[in-house]
Structure 1
Amino acid sequence: MPAGSHVDSTRIARLGMNHMTGRSRHRGFGHIRKLPSGRYQASYVGHDDARHTAPETFTARIDAEAWLAAEHKRSEDPENWQAPRARIEAARKAAEAAQLPTYADYAQRYLAERKVKGRALAPSTVDGYRRMLANYINPTFGDIPLDEITPAMVNQWYDRLPADKERTRREAYTLARAVMTVATGAHGPLVGQVNPFAIRGGGSGTSPKREQIATAKEIEVILDHIRPEWQAMVLLALWCGMRYGELTELRRSDVDLDKRVIKIRRAVARAGPGKKIVKGPKSASGVRDQRIPAHIVPAIRKHLRTYVTGRDGLLFPGAHGQHLHPARFQGKHTHRGWYGARKAAGRDDLRFHDLRATGATLLAQQGANIGEIQAFLGDSTPTAALRYVRAGQSRMDQLTDRLSSLAERGGW
């Protein structure tokens, strides 16, 4: 037997030894220890006779076992074996040398090149994605080369997302996975590799359905308490189904009170702190000639005479004649803004956008079909329009009372 055979066999045998005590479990290779936090720590003795722990702990024991299995396979080749952390560092340097992008760098490229139906992402959408990356994704993955992101890392990151924010969890996972889907696709730097974002159901689920609509009495109180120059905003959002961005770009030349029509052609979108752009409405269907109900024409006429200057003057200008900033309208620092008005009505849960839903619901209760509601809202699909039709409690009470009457009469 060669002189080194005994040493090598002893070393290899030690790779399977478990020297740890406490809450660990003996196994053939390495060991797994359950920490007081409930997470699992995996380690093993390497060919250098030192114990090496995984660079991260694991939520599930099966993830720790998977890491050990991969290390065991690597240990079968002693000549090329490297300690885990040294291997990761070497891979990082190799990635830099090969100019393999980090996740953060590639995500920026993804946002710049991403297209939906042949069109680049809207600036407001890009801004939202950048905030999601900055707040929830890049703190974990931003500095890691794409090929060093593992399913175990993804599982740990996902478990740390705020449990009480289902929508945030869903949208953060969906975006993070989308970036890696492109990276591992036919034209990506990791072509043919498996996307590590593979959590079943990670991007699925729905947000709780909003049922909030305003009553006539609540609207009356809101109009009494909001600043006079914004009363018409409330009326147009409610009775014409207009979005906030459409209202704040609305100009005198867009309004024809004789024909009772508002030409909706543009909207304001926020594209980061202090930045805004004027663009088309949210969808192609958002470009529309909106009918003005007769009962609000006098209020709109009065608003035009009192607060609007020039043919192209904004109907609802902000400070210094610029577009009205949402924070100013909401009035976080004054009781005459939207927040103060809804509070006076006892409706702290009511969003300005819920006025659109209230108008659509009232329209449906008057017998409008889904196509008419879709046109009223300027939505691109019937599904989108239906999200805004909500069952008012008083209306539901009337309908169920009618069912009772039908049952009592019989013959149905």
Structure 2
Amino acid sequence: MSERKANRASFGTVRKLPSGRYQARYHEANGERVTAPTTFATKREALDHLAGVRADRMRGTYRDHRAGSAPFGPYAEEWIANGGSRGRLAPRTKVLYEDLLHRHLSSLATTPLNAVTPPLVRTWYAKTRKSLQASSAARGGSGETAVRQAYALLRSILATAVTDGLIPSNPCQIKGAGIASAPERPYMAPEVLSAIVERMPEQYSLPMRTMFGAHLRLGELVALQRGDYSDGLLRVERQVAIVRGVPTVTPTKTGEERVVALPGTLREMVEEHLASTTGFPKSPMFTRPDGGALTHGGIQQAWAKARKAAGHPQFHVHDVRHAGLTLAAQAGATTRELMARAGHRTTAAAMTYQHVAEERNALVAERMDALAGAALAPRKGHLEAVIRLELPL
């Protein structure tokens, strides 16, 4: 027993304090002396602590308890400034994170990272959710989106703190919190899209059809340039995002470029449009009558009026992209092909469109039966044989 104590003590030192409790200390590799984060009731407990630190070092799992003493606020600000967990944030996302940090996570700003515990997170979440529900009720909202985004941001920041070795585990452990649960958008059939677009001003006719055929996000449509089209292929490499109320050209939502082959009919319309108009390769592909570039607001306002006039007020502008991708799935596009055309990072989003396409399989089969006529009708002799087999003897 004495040899065991000697081995543990040789790693560090233990001393009795005037209070009667024991303090354990040891040295870092650089010679710096470290004091244990707490005192101990007995000398044995202090020695056991030293033995645990020594064992963690030998296993390579040692974590300096002082590392997580930095306050959450400055760490979170640095996390955002450095581009989050991926090292890159879209301008609009960066603005959103800064707003969430200063409005909804400010109460944690001075709290040390290692003091952000699961109970503290649950308390913060409950108070924030209640506060947002109360403030949003007057505007007809629920506040759920804001609290979900704030929690998701907190969880991501603390996950990086775990990776950095500042805290042992992520204290954000509320099941279901931070996960979006928006209902699936309704399917917009091509004929419905056509009915809405026909009621929009002429200047939006081809742009909306391009949004459908090339599966563009609204910001990507607005950012198209004449030089982006060549030989039936449309290069999508930028978007116009609204950052603090100002239209700003940024990379696409995923930060990656993609090339989309246009359907034949749309290809002909785009080529005719480019041939009948003038401009430089970097000029906007689609413009207003006054020559200015299309805007988010202009398209959304025209869409809102047209969908109401067409009797389909439930559809959003973004549903145009969804409709095009669903049609691509119905045309036989694989998950990987849908991802390439849509610019998706994961298969989850692409599977949404295949899911809708599968649901329409029965309807497609019924329509085929109605249109096929004699092509699917049984031969006369076969039909007579079936009738004879079904007749009672």
TM bin, normalised by shorter chain, reads 0.5 to 0.7
Asked if structure 2 preserves the Cα contact closer than 8 Å seen for 1:308 and 1:314, the reply is no
Correspondence 1:239-254 to 2 at 5 A? 239-254=213-228
CA deviation after TM superposition for structure 1 residue 109, in Å: 0.8
Correspondence 1:88-103 to 2 at 5 A? 102-103=71-72
Distance 1:383 1:224, change over 3 A: same
Distance 1:147 1:325, change over 3 A: farther
CA deviation after TM superposition for structure 1 residue 268, in Å: 2.9
Q: Counterpart in 2 of 1:295?
A: 265
1:266 alignment partner, one of 238, 250, 270: 238
Residue deviations 1:119-163 (CA, integer Å, cap 9, x gap): 42232322232233344333x434656566554442233224257
Residue deviations 1:76-112 (CA, integer Å, cap 9, x gap): 9xxxxxxxxxxxxxxxxxxxxxxx7654433211111
Gaps of 5+ in 1: 1-75, 77-99, 332-336
Give, in whole Å, the separation in 2 of the partners of 1:234 and 1:326: 12
Residue 156 of structure 2 aligns to which amino acid in structure 1?
A: A
Q: Counterpart in 2 of 1:105?
A: 74
Q: Counterpart in 2 of 1:225?
A: 199
CA deviation after TM superposition for structure 1 residue 223, in Å: 1.6
Q: Counterpart in 2 of 1:63?
A: none
Q: Counterpart in 1 of 2:312?
A: 347
Give, in whole Å, the separation in 2 of the partners of 1:371 and 1:193: 38
DSSP 3-state at the match of 2:191: helix
Distance 1:196 1:270, change over 3 A: same
Distance 1:275 1:367, change over 3 A: closer
> Which 4+ runs in 1 deviate beyond 6 A?
318-322
1:368 alignment partner, one of 312, 318, 333: 333
Q: Over aligned residue pairs, what C-alpha RMSD do you find?
A: 4.1
Residue deviations 1:328-359 (CA, integer Å, cap 9, x gap): 3212xxxxx12222222333332222222211
Distance 1:349 1:112, change over 3 A: same
Q: Counterpart in 2 of 1:380?
A: 345
Residue 108 of structure 2 is aligned to residue 120 of structure 1: no
Residue 246 of structure 1 aligns to which amino acid in structure 2?
A: E
Identity percentage over the alignment? Answer: 25
Distance 1:144 1:328, change over 3 A: farther
Residue deviations 1:239-276 (CA, integer Å, cap 9, x gap): 121222222221112223xx322222333334433151
DSSP 3-state at the match of 2:198: helix
Asked if structure 1 preserves the Cα contact closer than 8 Å seen for 2:238 and 2:249, the reply is no
DSSP 3-state at the match of 1:207: coil
Distance 1:192 1:103, change over 3 A: closer
Gaps of 5+ in 2: 1-40, 42-68, 134-141, 371-382, 387-393
Asked if structure 1 preserves the Cα contact closer than 8 Å seen for 2:196 and 2:310, the reply is yes
Asked if structure 2 preserves the Cα contact closer than 8 Å seen for 1:245 and 1:268, the reply is yes
Residue deviations 1:25-80 (CA, integer Å, cap 9, x gap): xxxxxxxxxxxxxxxxxxxxxxxxxxxxxxxxxxxxxxxxxxxxxxxxxxx9xxxx
Correspondence 1:4-403 to 2 at 5 A? 102-114=71-83, 116=85, 119-138=87-106, 140-142=107-109, 146=113, 149=116, 151-159=118-126, 160-161=128-129, 164=142, 168-183=146-161, 186=164, 191-192=166-167, 195-203=170-178, 205-256=179-230, 259-274=231-246, 276-279=248-251, 282-284=254-256, 286-288=257-259, 290-304=260-274, 309-317=279-287, 324-331=294-301, 337-389=302-354, 391=356, 395-398=360-363
Distance 1:192 1:340, change over 3 A: same
Distance 1:183 1:126, change over 3 A: same
Q: Relative to total residues, which structure has the larger helix share, 1 or 2?
A: 2
Asked if structure 2 preserves the Cα contact closer than 8 Å seen for 1:265 and 1:281, the reply is no
Asked if structure 1 preserves the Cα contact closer than 8 Å seen for 2:195 and 2:310, the reply is yes
Asked if structure 2 preserves the Cα contact closer than 8 Å seen for 1:308 and 1:315, the reply is no
Residue 158 of structure 2 aligns to which amino acid in structure 1?
A: M
Distance 1:397 1:323, change over 3 A: same
DSSP 3-state at the match of 1:343: helix
Give, in whole Å, the separation in 1 of the partners of 2:249 and 2:281: 21
Asked if structure 2 preserves the Cα contact closer than 8 Å seen for 1:283 and 1:379, the reply is no
Asked if structure 2 preserves the Cα contact closer than 8 Å seen for 1:181 and 1:195, the reply is yes
CA deviation after TM superposition for structure 1 residue 389, in Å: 3.8
Give, in whole Å, the separation in 1 of the partners of 2:204 and 2:73: 42
Alignment length, in residue pairs? 299
Residue deviations 1:148-207 (CA, integer Å, cap 9, x gap): 6554442233224257565544432121122234346545xxx3466543334434x452
